[in-house]
Amino acid sequence: MSSFKGGPSLPQERKIVTEIPGPRSRELQERRKKAVAPGVGSTLPVYTVAAGGGVIVDVDGNSLIDFGSGIAVTNVGNAHPEVVRRVQEQVAAFTHTCFMVTPYEAYVSVCEKLNELTPGDHEKRTILVNSGAEAVENAVKIARYATRRPAVVVFDHGYHGRTLLTMTLTAKNMPYKEGFGPYAPEVYRMPMAYPFRSELDGPATAAQAIDLITTQIGAHNTAAILVEPILGEGGFIEPSPGFLPALDRFAKENGIVFIADEIQTGFGRTGQLFASEHEGIVPDLITTAKGIAGGLPLAAVTGRADLMDSVHGGGLGGTYGGNPIACQAALAVFEALEAEKVVERARRIGEIMLPRLRAMAERFPQIGDVRGRGAMTAIELVVPGTRTPDPGAAAALARACHERGLLVLTAGTYGNVLRFLPPLVIPEPLLLEGLDLLEEAFR
Ligand SMILES: Cc1ncc(COP(=O)(O)O)c(C=O)c1O
């Protein structure tokens, strides 16, 4: 085992001592090939021994700048001291009882806090589960149960997970759906107001979707409209203004449950606690995961008490849902969010990153679009002078960043988006160095 200690006490510096990936990582990668199914990929196969603040340290002693946060998970930083403390105390007290067998306080406390923090001051209830996909599955179950209607409306470029239902809800075929069908029934996909690629504005695209729902499904058959308020895997698409409010209004007028999937956008990432708040949306149900528990597997559905209370006893749950260790981690995250003004830090990250990215777009014609909110920003790469997606450029840039010790992720329906998700507690000098490295990668 390594002698590295993680968390924010790790030296907050980029240090490259081998090629990336280094020899020890390459050795582990060879071992992995014989043990792990290749269907599970890794963006950058450097094997981690410690992480914290804005860095990830690998088995070869390299310290990389983290612009990924384990895909928007470690918002308060990796191995946050309060997460570590609470987890250690909990693990020594008891590791599991199953909330459905004998309950415990931490589960209730997490639900209370989610009811309080999520948009809207109406009465709410929450259930806890293990993963984002499971949260989305449960939100759909609840919406169907409460409305007694079958249809679920989703959108182009949306991503909701990899289980049978959530992969059906997801738009992109490769790699998420290819060969895994047949898919679940009663899922209908509508156009998304994608500012960089749509001809129509937000209200006009919403009107088109509403017309399709009305004529092809029937509002009275529609249980839920499910949407990410800013699309994550689809390429950090912020729907054109007016799109979400129009759909929300239509849902409320027609007894359709409006579900905001805030699994990637949640917990301060976009400079508000929830991205729905940017357009004043109060979802009927909201799904959360990722940033909720500092890296421990926890997810939730929170929503209107009348909907949540409609389901019969025993209809929801699971063996590990709301595991006590994960709940303690979430309670630590909630404290850290407030105490360390993490949401404001996300806003500040956006204020630093967006002007720098826009300045790069002036100089590098491969950047077709710069977008984002707070610490959820992206550039979309195109063939210069056109809107033709250039996934090759995105892959080459990601590689060049990785070689320089900057971890970035790609995204987008066309694989041509570089997305940036630094931990919200990243020290400013590291953030600036990361931007310098990105610019160097372009050159
Ligand atoms: C918006 C959104 N929904 C659902 C999911 C699925 O979450 P999980 O991978 O925890 O199942 C993700 C994961 O990236 C996501 O970004």
Residue 3's pLDDT band (cuts 50, 70, 90): low
**Alpha carbon distance 201, 195 (integer Å):** 7
CB of 314 closer than 8 Å to CB of 140: no
Compute, in angstroms, the gap from residue 11 CA to the centroid of ligand 1.
31
From 227, 264, 267, 376, give the residue whose CB has the most ligand 1 atoms within 8 Å, as the site to mutate: 264
- Mean pLDDT within 349-358: 98
**Alpha carbon distance 231, 412 (integer Å):** 9
pLDDT in tens, 372-393: 999 999 999 999 999 999 999 9
Contacts made by residues 387-391, CB under 8 angstroms, sequence distance 24+: 387/196, 387/197, 389/414, 389/415, 389/416, 390/366, 390/416, 391/415, 391/416
Residue 140's pLDDT band (cuts 50, 70, 90): very high
pLDDT in tens, 93-131: 999 999 999 999 999 999 999 999 999 999 999 999 999
Compute, in angstroms, the gap from residue 163 CA to the centroid of ligand 1.
10
First to last CA, the chain: 39
**Alpha carbon distance 297, 272 (integer Å):** 23
Does the C-beta of 228 come closer than 6 Å to ligand 1? yes
Name the pairing type of β-strands 222-227 and 257-261. Answer: parallel
Count of residues for the chain? Answer: 443
Which ligand 1 atom lies nearest to the CA of residue 163? 11
Does the C-beta of 133 come closer than 6 Å to ligand 1? yes
Place of tokens 């109060």: 282
Which ligand 1 atom lies nearest to the CA of residue 71? 14
Name the pTM for this structure: 0.98
DSSP state of 22: -
Per the prediction, the chain carries an average pLDDT of: 97
Residue 22's pLDDT band (cuts 50, 70, 90): very high
Token readout for 424 is 């919200």
From 138, 155, 160, 162, give the residue whose CB has the most ligand 1 atoms within 8 Å, as the site to mutate: 160
Give the percent of the chain with pLDDT over 90.
Answer: 98
Place of tokens 């895997």: 233
- Mean pLDDT within 136-160: 98
CA angle 312, 316, 317 (to 5 degrees): 145
CB of 325 closer than 8 Å to CB of 90: yes
**Residue whose CA lies nearest to ligand 1 atom number 9:** 132
- Mean pLDDT within 242-247: 98
- Alpha-carbon Rg for the chain, nearest whole angstrom, is 21
Residue 246 sits at φ, ψ, to 5 deg, of -65, -40
Residue 1's pLDDT band (cuts 50, 70, 90): very low
**Alpha carbon distance 275, 32 (integer Å):** 38
